């Protein structure tokens, strides 16, 4: 399972980085989303991979999974989701104002 | 806990967090009321920051436990002399900016300027106060999301395009921050800074490989915020296209990255820790290149705004050269220069914005017919540029002198600082003389009116704000002696991290013992840890605050 999760994070990060380096806004937003997925899974895994174990202390249970990364990842998901919607709105505004969705400041030269 | 003064530590975060929604929800259509609340909010923040600084200047760091959860489990705010200094600096700059935005009418050119400004203050103050690494991330996001709104305030094609770049760059930086925190949590099992410092110091050097990865990732994150080479690309475009007062506020944004570097690498990943001199080795060459690129950029810029933006990059390089020495004396010099360069960069952005309002062709460095208030603006620009370039008699000179003094023997740092100062002087002299002096020879034709600044409701207030910042720089020069003595205390506290750690960690242990003796937990034995978390089955208290 470790190999599966690790390679999934790696592939998603690579795809995210590749897409962020594109010239148009849409692939960049997709890349950001991909990258935040990757980091969320990574944060989740930072408390070790444990299946079917409770995150809370309880009578009669002596193996636990770490609850902190779950709380961290919840915060990270909320923030990254909000940030993605901000960047979508901003990109839309820039597209309406400028008439193109190139990410660099002198986009016309590329047309 | 009933004493109100105990809660003053959290006030720099709570006050703007209360004001911002108030302004946006209740005073949405009443510009005057917004302005009153915003100005009084800033004044109150300054008063709070000064009183906190006076409190912090004697005694060990003070700890404020949010929700009264004990240290490694809950989030703590820690007030030490460095955070107090940064709070005061932020409040001074914030006050100048809110006055300028009112005087120049910038706050009326779009929606929600004042509430976004308050949210930004909340994020910045929180980042300076927090004693928890993940909470630092959360406050970074708070200040960033407010800065996204401020950056595109009043819209326009170029500004929105630059805004998209800025947001994407910082989102990538935030992702990197999370990767770093995940790595550090996976190796140490904690994110409380004091607890981290303890755990990192105890880690055997052979096991520290992954930790070193985390520490290096954190340097990258903070370098993005501080605009260190090779992560400086976002800065010139952003600062040039942002509204004037917002660019001035961003003068402290790079310093947040610098603050985080100082905090994390003097407290947690010290040169004595298993991570070793990683920070020193990475930061020193990066700072040298940053300094050169920034100062050469001033000379190369074709636009005054861009020249000032590059001078911010250069000044960050200068101060990191000092901080990367990781010695007490060098930190004193770096801190003195940090305060100076924040104030002077803020003043320069405001002056340049006033010039832009009065010119037909924006900020391009070319001769134009004279503008309104030409003489006054020229002398203000002259003064601020002297400060930024580091010429006598202003504090930039003293700051650079102190940095040269502590880096004696490292010839390449001397060469870099001295040569780039000359380049900066030439760059600013060229920009200033072309824009202000050449224009005197181009007389206006009869009937050709000087353009008046847009919405120039009370230009006097804008000048008051710039004058206030410059007066602060003069005061910083005149009182250089007391200031550097204060900085010595700050640095001394930074380089005895044990006081910080014990303030956060031992307080918890003592309280648990006292509670045990008082009979609250008669069965308290050796396992304090379980006793200190009385509601262990409540879902993750630490993060309930973070949302």
Distance from CA of B187 to the nearest CA of A (A): 8
Helix and strand counts by DSSP (H, E) for chain B: 22, 2
The CATH number given to whatever domain includes residue A10 is: 1.10.287
SS3 for B268-317 is CCCCCCCCCCHHHHHHHHHHHHHHHHHHHHHHHCCEHHHHHHHHHHHHHH
Chain A residues within an 8 Å CB radius of B182: 39, 42-43, 45-46, 69, 72
Contact state of B158 with A36 under an 8 Å Cβ cutoff: no
Residue in B with minimal Cα distance to A68: B540
CA distances to A63, B133, B251, B297 from B303, rounded to whole Å, are: 63, 39, 18, 11
CB-CB neighbours of B236 under 10 Å: 23
Sign of CA dihedral B367, B371, B375, B378: negative
Chain B residues within an 8 Å CB radius of A46: 182-183, 185-186
Chain A residues within an 8 Å CB radius of B174: 79-80, 83
Q: Which residues of A make CB contacts under 8 Å with B?
A: 20, 25, 28, 32, 35-36, 38-39, 42-43, 45-48, 56-58, 67-72, 74-76, 78-80, 82-84, 86-87, 90-91, 93-94, 97-98, 103-105, 107
Instruction: Give me the residues of B, 327-366, that contact A with CB < 8 A.
Output: none
Distance from CA of B403 to the nearest CA of A (A): 37
State the DSSP H helix or E strand holding residue B78, giving kind and residue range, or none if neither: strand B76-79
Residue in A with minimal Cα distance to B530: A57
Distance from CA of B232 to the nearest CA of A (A): 15
Q: With beta carbons less than 8 A apart as the criterion, state whether B305 and B468 touch.
A: no
**Look-up: residue for tokens 């930072």?**
A46
Contact state of B160 with A90 under an 8 Å Cβ cutoff: yes
- Tell me B127's DSSP state: H
pLDDT of residue B444: 66
Q: With beta carbons less than 8 A apart as the criterion, state whether B74 and B507 touch.
A: no
Number of domains in chain A: 1
- Tell me B453's DSSP state: P
Domain that holds residue A85: 2-110
Chain A contact present for B369, CB below 8 A = no
CA distances to A11, A102, B145, B166, B220 from A84, rounded to whole Å, are: 20, 18, 11, 13, 22
Nearest CA to B38 out of B125, B130, B117 is that of: B117
Distance from CA of A37 to the nearest CA of B (A): 10
Give 10-residue mean pLDDT values along chain B (547 residues): 78 94 90 92 96 89 88 89 95 95 88 93 96 94 93 88 91 94 92 92 88 93 92 90 93 94 93 88 94 94 92 95 94 95 95 87 80 87 93 91 93 94 94 85 64 63 93 95 93 92 82 72 43 40 41
Whole-model pTM: value is 0.91
CA distances to B16, B235, B414 from B404, rounded to whole Å, are: 39, 26, 6
Q: With beta carbons less than 8 A apart as the criterion, state whether B1 and B68 touch.
A: yes
Distance CA B107, CA B38 (A): 11
Q: What number is the ipTM of this complex?
A: 0.93
A57, A86, A107: residue with CB nearest B167: A86
Distance from CA of B131 to the nearest CA of A (A): 16
Structure token pair of residue A27: 């692939």
B437 CB-near residues (< 8 Å, 6+ apart): B378
| Domain layout of chain B by residue ranges | 9-443+457-517
Distance from CA of B75 to the nearest CA of A (A): 13
Sign of CA dihedral B448, B450, B454, B457: negative
Contact state of A97 with B157 under an 8 Å Cβ cutoff: yes
């Amino acid at each position: 399972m470790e190999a599966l999760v690790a390679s999934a994070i790696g592939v998603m990060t690579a795809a995210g980085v590749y897409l962020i380096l594109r010239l148009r806004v849409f692939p960049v937003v997709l890349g950001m989303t991909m990258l935040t997925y990757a980091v969320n899974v990574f944060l989740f895994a930072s408390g070790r991979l444990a299946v079917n174990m409770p995150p809370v202390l309880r009578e009669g249970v002596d193996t636990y999974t770490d609850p902190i990364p779950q709380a961290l990842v919840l915060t990270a998901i909320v923030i990254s989701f909000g940030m993605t919607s901000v960047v979508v709105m901003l990109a839309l505004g820039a597209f309406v104002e400028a008439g193109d969705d190139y990410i660099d400041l002198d986009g016309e030269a590329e047309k | 806990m009933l004493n109100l003064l105990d809660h003053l530590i959290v006030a720099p975060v709570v006050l703007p967090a209360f004001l911002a929604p108030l302004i946006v929800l209740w005073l949405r259509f009443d510009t005057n009321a917004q302005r009153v609340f915003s100005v009084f909010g800033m004044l109150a923040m300054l008063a709070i920051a000064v009183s906190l600084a006076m409190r912090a200047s004697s005694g060990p760091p003070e700890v404020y436990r949010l929700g009264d959860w004990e240290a490694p489990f809950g989030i703590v705010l820690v007030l030490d002399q460095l955070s107090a200094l940064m709070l005061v600096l932020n409040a001074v700059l914030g006050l100048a900016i809110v006055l300028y935005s009112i005087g120049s009418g910038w706050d009326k050119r779009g929606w929600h300027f004042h509430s976004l400004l308050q949210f930004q203050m909340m994020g910045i103050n929180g980042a300076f106060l927090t004693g928890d690494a993940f909470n630092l991330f959360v406050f970074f996001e708070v200040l960033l999301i407010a800065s996204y709104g401020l950056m595109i305030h009043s819209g326009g094609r170029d500004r929105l395009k630059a805004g998209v770049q800025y947001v994407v760059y910082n989102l990538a930086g935030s992702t990197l921050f999370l990767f770093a925190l995940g790595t550090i949590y996976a190796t140490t099992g904690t994110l409380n800074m004091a607890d981290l410092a303890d755990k990192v110091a105890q880690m055997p050097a052979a096991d520290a490989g992954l930790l070193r990865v985390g520490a290096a990732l954190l340097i990258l994150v903070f370098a993005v915020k501080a605009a260190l080479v090779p992560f400086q690309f976002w800065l010139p475009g952003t600062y040039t296209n942002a509204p004037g007062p917002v660019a001035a506020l961003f003068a402290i944004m790079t310093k947040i990255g610098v603050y985080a570097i100082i905090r994390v690498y003097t407290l947690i990943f010290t040169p004595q820790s298993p991570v070793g001199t990683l920070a020193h080795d990475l930061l020193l060459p990066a700072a040298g290149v940053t300094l050169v690129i920034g100062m050469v950029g001033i000379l190369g810029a074709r636009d005054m705004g861009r020249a000032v933006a590059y001078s911010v990059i250069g000044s960050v390089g200068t101060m990191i050269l000092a901080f990367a020495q990781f010695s007490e004396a060098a930190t004193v010099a770096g801190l003195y220069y940090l305060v100076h360069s924040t104030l002077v960069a803020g003043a320069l952005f405001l002056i340049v914005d006033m010039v832009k309002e009065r010119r037909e062709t924006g900020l391009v460095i070319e001769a134009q017919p004279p503008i309104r208030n030409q003489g006054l603006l020229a002398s203000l620009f002259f003064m601020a540029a002297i400060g930024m370039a580091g010429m006598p008699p202003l504090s930039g000179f003293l700051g650079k002198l102190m940095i040269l003094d502590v880096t004696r023997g490292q010839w390449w740092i001397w060469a870099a600082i001295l040569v780039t100062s000359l380049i900066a002087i030439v760059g600013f002299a060229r920009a200033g003389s072309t824009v202000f002096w050449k224009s005197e020879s181009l007389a206006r034709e009869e009937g050709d009116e000087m353009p008046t600044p847009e919405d120039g409701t009370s230009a006097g207030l804008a000048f008051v704000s710039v004058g206030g910042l410059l007066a602060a720089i003069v005061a910083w020069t005149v009182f250089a002696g007391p200031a550097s003595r204060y900085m010595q205390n700050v640095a001394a506290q930074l380089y005895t991290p044990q006081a910080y750690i014990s303030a956060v960690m031992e307080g918890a242990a003592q309280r648990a013992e006292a509670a045990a003796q008082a009979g609250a937990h008669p069965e308290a034995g050796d396992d304090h840890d379980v006793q200190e978390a009385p509601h262990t089955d409540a879902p993750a208290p630490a993060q309930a605050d973070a949302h």
